[in-house]
């Protein structure tokens, strides 16, 4: 634990929200203790060895955009920026599966969305005026469904907005919150190509987001206790007075604080009357152990297929399908075959199924509807020493790494301010 001059900050959960809160607190002179229920950090953003494919795989390929400034600052702080890879310019290759038609969207490198005014960079056969729905979405003020805000059909929707919004919001876009879409567009497309460069942890999430964070925390005297599951919070005098874990009980002093960085369905068990998102959407990932052909782009958007994004990674090809709820009951081998047949068609690889693994994350993110978005709580709670973090708290962003890191930073800053004021 970090050497202290009074008070311990307990962080519950070592997902990216908990880890980023801990990283932010390395400058604080308080003791910081991270408690994680499982044997591994990273939560929904993790790598692990899969014996079936004999590969280290990610629970899901995660994409950052160069405009995700909090996520990038977290990675810079823990020293793993070099593990992120992406093209020099913001470009996204697409293929229409039935017709085989291919195109690449190039947003350039500027700090203004000049790409909208450049015929070469826009979608083929579209004019600036066709992009008005994007502007309407970006400046939406009331939270409605996207389907009630813009027309969800036509080339701009099908070839730009639908794949982008589905990937970022993890819900069929017509049902999604226009406000969350607005935040996303203003922080990425609205800031020009410099904010839209896609960045991938090509060699695995663990080596970029998780292991360097644990090492950094250790170097700064902060330990992460694994298999240390919180089972109850006890309250008294408007504060958390005791933490009960499976293996220990910790009574809290006046100067101690708690950052609860667990998923919403766990937090609501611990915090009385906590309102939080209660509906979720799943993500399906398929991983194939095979060398991708040189002509396959690092990242390919698939329109009108089951696959949504195909990633060409070192010695493997991975496929992501967002809001893939209907695929959760399909037999795994059938799903692997169906996905591989599309990959084979797109890549020219043989139809013979290579070693594969399917990862289905049922509660990948909260359902990004206006109703669920309205349930997100602030970091500060009614309990004096309890703060919330997690991609599901009221960050104004969809449930993403960026949201998780911003929530962790926010909770850490609130704790620091409070302790400073009390000193």
**Binding to ligand FAD (CB under 6 A): which residues in 273-302?**
283, 285
Q: Which two tokens stand for residue 297?
A: 């782009």
Q: How far is residue 306's CA from residue 344's CA, in Å, rounded to a whole number?
A: 13
290 CB-near residues (< 8 Å, 6+ apart): 315, 316, 317, 349, 354
Residue 158 CB, nearest approach to ligand FAD (Å):
21
Closest CA to 226 of 253, 245, 204: 245
Residue placing its CB nearer to ligand FAD in the complex, 222 or 401: 401
Residue 322 CB, nearest approach to ligand FAD (Å):
8
From 35-43, 211-219, 291-299, 330-338, give the range in contact with ligand FAD by CB under 6 A.
Answer: 35-43
**Binding to ligand FAD (CB under 6 A): which residues in 372-411?**
390-391, 399-404
Distance from first CA to last CA of the chain, Å, rounded?
21
Q: Residue from 201, 214, 364, 379 that binds ligand FAD (CB under 6 A)?
A: 364
DSSP H stretches of helix in 86-203: 132-138, 155-156, 162-169, 178-187
Residue 5 CB, nearest approach to ligand FAD (Å):
27
Q: Residue from 9, 11, 16, 137 that binds ligand FAD (CB under 6 A)?
A: 16
Q: Evaluate whether 78 touches 329 at the Cβ level (below 8 Å).
A: no
Q: Evaluate whether 107 touches 196 at the Cβ level (below 8 Å).
A: yes
**Residue 332 CB coordination number (10 Å):** 13
Q: How far is residue 351's CA from residue 337's CA, in Å, rounded to a whole number?
A: 9
Residue 51 CB, nearest approach to ligand FAD (Å):
20
Q: Kindly state the number of chain residues that form the binding site for ligand FAD, as judged by CB under 6 A.
A: 37
Q: Residue from 2, 33, 60, 208 that binds ligand FAD (CB under 6 A)?
A: 60
When asked if residue 266 is in the footprint of ligand FAD (CB under 6 A), the reply is yes
Residue 47 CB, nearest approach to ligand FAD (Å):
12
How would DSSP label each residue in 109-123? Answer: S-SS-GGGG-TTTSP
Starting at the earlier edge strand, list the strands of the sheet with 239-245: 230-236, 239-245, 249-251
From 30-38, 72-80, 130-138, 291-299, give the range in contact with ligand FAD by CB under 6 A.
Answer: 30-38
When asked if residue 316 is in the footprint of ligand FAD (CB under 6 A), the reply is no
When asked if residue 175 is in the footprint of ligand FAD (CB under 6 A), the reply is no
Q: Residue from 261, 276, 299, 312 that binds ligand FAD (CB under 6 A)?
A: 261
Contact code string over 88-117 relative to ligand FAD, x by CB under 6 A: ------------------------------
Q: How far is residue 44's CA from residue 101's CA, in Å, rounded to a whole number?
A: 34
When asked if residue 24 is in the footprint of ligand FAD (CB under 6 A), the reply is no
Residue 41 CB, nearest approach to ligand FAD (Å):
6
When asked if residue 262 is in the footprint of ligand FAD (CB under 6 A), the reply is yes
DSSP annotation of 108: E
When asked if residue 321 is in the footprint of ligand FAD (CB under 6 A), the reply is no
Q: Residue from 26, 38, 81, 223 that binds ligand FAD (CB under 6 A)?
A: 38
Residue placing its CB nearer to ligand FAD in the complex, 230 or 302: 230
When asked if residue 323 is in the footprint of ligand FAD (CB under 6 A), the reply is no
Q: How far is residue 73's CA from residue 142's CA, in Å, rounded to a whole number?
A: 31
Please name the helix (run of DSSP H) or strand (run of DSSP E) that holds residue 150, with its range, or none. Answer: none
**Binding to ligand FAD (CB under 6 A): which residues in 40-59?**
43-45, 59
Q: How far is residue 81's CA from residue 299's CA, in Å, rounded to a whole number?
A: 19
Starting at the earlier edge strand, list the strands of the sheet with 280-289: 102-108, 90-96, 299-303, 309-313, 316-322, 280-289, 356-366
Residues making contact with ligand FAD (CB under 6 A): 12-18, 35-38, 43-45, 59-60, 62-63, 229-230, 261-263, 266, 283, 285, 361, 364-365, 390-391, 399-404
């Amino acid at each position: 634990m970090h050497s202290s001059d009074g008070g311990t900050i307990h962080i519950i959960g070592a997902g990216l929200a908990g880890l980023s809160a801990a990283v932010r607190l390395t400058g604080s002179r308080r003791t910081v203790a991270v408690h994680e229920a499982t044997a591994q950090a990273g939560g929904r953003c993790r790598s692990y060895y899969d014996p079936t494919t004999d590969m280290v795989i990610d629970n899901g390929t995660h994409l950052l955009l160069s405009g995700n400034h909090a996520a990038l600052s977290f990675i810079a702080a823990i020293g793993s920026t070099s593990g992120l890879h992406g093209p020099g310019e913001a470009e996204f290759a697409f293929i229409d599966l039935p017709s085989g038609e291919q195109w690449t969207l190039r947003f350039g490198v500027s700090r203004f969305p000049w790409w909208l005014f450049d015929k070469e960079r826009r979608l083929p056969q579209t004019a600036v005026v066709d992009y008005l729905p994007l502007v309407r979405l970006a400046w939406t003020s009331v939270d409605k469904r996207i389907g009630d805000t813009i027309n969800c059909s036509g080339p701009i929707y099908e070839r730009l907005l639908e794949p982008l919004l589905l990937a970022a919001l993890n819900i069929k876009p017509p049902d999604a919150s226009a406000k969350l879409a607005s935040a996303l567009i203003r922080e990425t497309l609205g800031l020009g190509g410099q904010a839209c460069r896609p960045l991938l942890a090509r060699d695995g999430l663990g080596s970029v987001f998780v292991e360097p964070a644990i090492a950094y925390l250790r170097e700064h005297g902060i330990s992460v206790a694994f298999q240390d599951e919180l089972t109850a919070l006890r309250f008294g005098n408007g504060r958390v007075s005791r933490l009960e874990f499976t293996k220990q009980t910790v009574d809290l002093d006046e100067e101690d604080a708690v950052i609860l960085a667990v998923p919403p369905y766990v937090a609501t068990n611990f915090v009385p009357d906590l309102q939080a998102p209660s509906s979720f959407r799943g993500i399906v990932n398929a991983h194939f152990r095979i060398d991708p052909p040189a002509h396959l782009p690092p990242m390919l958007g698939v329109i009108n297929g089951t696959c949504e994004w195909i990633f060409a990674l070192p010695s493997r090809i991975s496929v992501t399908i967002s809001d893939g709820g209907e695929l959760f009951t399909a037999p795994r081998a059938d799903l692997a075959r169906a996905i591989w047949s599309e990959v084979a068609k797109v890549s020219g690889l043989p139809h013979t199924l290579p070693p594969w693994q399917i990862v289905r994350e049922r509660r990948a993110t909260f359902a990004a509807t206006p109703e669920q978005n309205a349930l997100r709580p602030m970091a500060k709670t009614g309990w004096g020493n309890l703060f919330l973090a997690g991609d599901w708290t009221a960050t104004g962003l969809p449930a993403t790494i960026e949201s998780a890191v911003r929530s962790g930073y926010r909770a850490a800053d609130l704790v620091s301010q409070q302790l400073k004021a009390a000193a």
